[in-house]
């Protein structure tokens, strides 16, 4: 018998994502301020039912719940969800966290007033599928809002750099869509199409402390799932690994403020209303 999981051409990809992103926990602290910016941008109000898609450690979910929303959060990673539940408990908040797939949300149609994602849904392999699911569970007149990485800035360029160091996929393999395309307003506008109105964009900056470029690179290697897995795969090829690390630091230098020991990462925020 064919199960839904076995029928999913990206089942192995999602298993790898589930494992890789479990290392993301230390990044929680630098995503907290941008989480508040997203919740404010989304115009979250007390009493609204809200879903945080690919919620990670729950910084958006906790922020929204502290503002009075009735919050649910979903993520692939049980490790991140454990931390999200801890963060909710410390804040004395009742948030429903569920392990699950953003491409198959386990919620009924029109269940939420607001659907958010902070740099999470972009890693779902099929943009049309994840967007259809996010809009399906959103009420008519509800708001969808998300933060993404523009392809022209450091973080987007970093995610676009990594595939060059991976072996080519087997012939006939269906490829996941690049996550950075979600950072292009023109593509976002095209993907949302006539399903929404009042489409609005804004921009912000995530700031991360970095004692040096090498310190920043090492921290990213330990916490950013796709980079972590790539570095591990290149341990038997030191020349290629050195080339990757040099390219990473050269790219990071474009976002490094040496005077403040900080990396500044630009992000895009999108908000729209479901018609």
pLDDT digits (tens, 9 = 90+) for 9-24: 899 889 988 988 888 8
* Enclosing domain of residue 117: 4-207+266-274
Q: Is the residue at 253 inside a domain? A: no
Cα dist. 78→13, 32, 57, 260 in Å? 16, 20, 10, 35
CATH number at residue 87: 3.40.50.150
Query: What pLDDT, on a 0 to 100 scale, did the predictor assign at position 175?
Result: 86
- Give the model confidence (pLDDT) of 222-248 as tens digits: 999 999 999 999 999 999 999 999 999
Q: What are the tens digits of pLDDT across the range 139-197?
A: 999 999 999 999 999 999 999 999 999 888 777 778 899 999 999 999 999 999 999 99
Q: What is the pLDDT of residue 3?
A: 43
Token duo for residue 268: 């895009």
Looking at the chain, which runs of residues are DSSP E strands?
49-53, 70-75, 96-99, 112-118, 138-148, 196-209, 256-257, 262-274
Please indicate, yes or no, if residue 228 is contained in any of the structural domains.
no
Tell me whether residue 68 is in a domain. yes
How many structural domains does the chain have? 1
Does the residue 227 lie in any domain?
no
In degrees, to the nearest 5, what angle opens at C-alpha 126 toward C-alphas 145 and 71?
A: 35
The two beta strands, 262-274 and 196-209, are antiparallel
Which tens digits make up the pLDDT trace of 243-274? Answer: 999 999 999 999 999 999 999 999 999 999 99
Look at residue 172 in the predicted model and tell me its pLDDT. Answer: 73
Please write the tens of the pLDDT for every residue from 86-120.
999 999 999 999 999 999 999 999 999 999 999 99
């Amino acid at each position: 018998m064919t199960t839904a999981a076995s029928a999913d051409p990206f089942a192995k990809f999602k298993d790898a994502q589930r494992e890789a992103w479990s290392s993301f926990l230390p990044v929680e602290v630098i995503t907290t301020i941008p989480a508040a910016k997203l919740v404010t941008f989304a115009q979250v109000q007390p009493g609204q039912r809200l879903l945080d898609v690919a919620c990670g450690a729950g910084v958006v979910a906790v922020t929204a719940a502290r503002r009075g929303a009735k919050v649910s959060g979903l993520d692939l990673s049980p490790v991140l969800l454990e931390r999200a539940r801890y963060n909710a408990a410390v804040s004395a908040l009742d948030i429903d966290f569920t392990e699950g797939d953003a491409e198959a949300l386990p919620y009924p149609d029109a269940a939420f007033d607001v659907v958010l994602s902070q740099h999470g849904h972009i890693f779902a392999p099929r943009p049309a599928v994840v967007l259809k699911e996010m809009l399906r569970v959103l009420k008519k007149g509800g708001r969808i809002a998300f933060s993404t990485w523009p392809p022209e800035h450091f973080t987007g360029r970093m995610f676009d750099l990594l595939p060059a160091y991976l072996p080519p996929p087997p012939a006939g393999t269906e490829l996941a869509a690049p996550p950075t395309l979600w950072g292009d307003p023109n593509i976002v506008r095209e993907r949302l199409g006539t399903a929404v109105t009042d489409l609005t964009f804004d921009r912000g900056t995530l700031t991360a402390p970095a004692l040096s470029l090498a310190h920043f690179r090492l921290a990213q290697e330990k916490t950013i799932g796709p980079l972590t897995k790539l570095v591990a795969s290149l341990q038997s090829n030191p020349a290629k690994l050195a080339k990757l690390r040099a390219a990473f630091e050269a790219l990071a230098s474009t976002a490094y403020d040496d005077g403040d020991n900080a990396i500044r990462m630009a992000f895009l925020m999108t908000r729209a209303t479901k018609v």
